[in-house]
């Protein structure tokens, strides 16, 4: 799942996106949680995406009790992994 957190004016809210990532990290289960920043847009505006990767889940209910959540976090900047944890980057 990929999320982009926007403010009331429809602009990317970097601080709220980072806070949401921290909340997900501390409360939910996942395989990988990533903050992805990039400046590859033609208008050079910093983009921020929050990416949540979940494990494969079988329809078999007995199997679901054996799910393995890796709980890995990382931060990407221009598609390069810059840290094994969540890092806040802003446009300021």
Asked if residue 26 belongs to a domain, the reply is yes
Asked if residue 8 belongs to a domain, the reply is yes
Asked if residue 68 belongs to a domain, the reply is yes
pLDDT class of 59 with cuts at 50, 70, 90? low
Q: What span, in angstroms and rounded, lies between the C-alpha atoms of 78 and 82?
A: 10
Q: Give me the residues paired with residue 81 across strands.
A: 76
If one counts the domains in the chain, the total is 1
Domain that holds residue 72: 2-83
The count of residues in the chain is 92
- Tokens (6 digits) for 53: 């990767």
| Cut 0.85: pTM above it | no
Other CB atoms within a 10 A radius of the CB of residue 76 amount to: 17
pLDDT at 52: 97
Asked if residue 31 belongs to a domain, the reply is yes
Q: pLDDT tens-digit profile of 3-42?
A: 999 999 999 999 999 999 999 999 999 999 999 999 987 8
Asked if residue 92 belongs to a domain, the reply is no
- Count H helices and E strands in the chain, helices first: 2, 5
């Amino acid at each position: 799942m990929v999320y982009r957190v926007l403010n009331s004016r429809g602009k990317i809210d970097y601080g709220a996106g980072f806070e949401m990532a921290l909340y997900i990290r501390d409360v939910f289960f996942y395989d990988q949680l990533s903050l992805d920043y990039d400046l590859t847009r033609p208008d050079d505006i910093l983009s921020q995406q929050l990416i949540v990767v979940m494990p494969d889940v079988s329809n078999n209910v007995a199997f679901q009790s054996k799910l393995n959540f890796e709980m890995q976090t990382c931060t990407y900047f221009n598609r390069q992994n810059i840290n094994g944890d969540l890092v806040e980057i802003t446009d300021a």
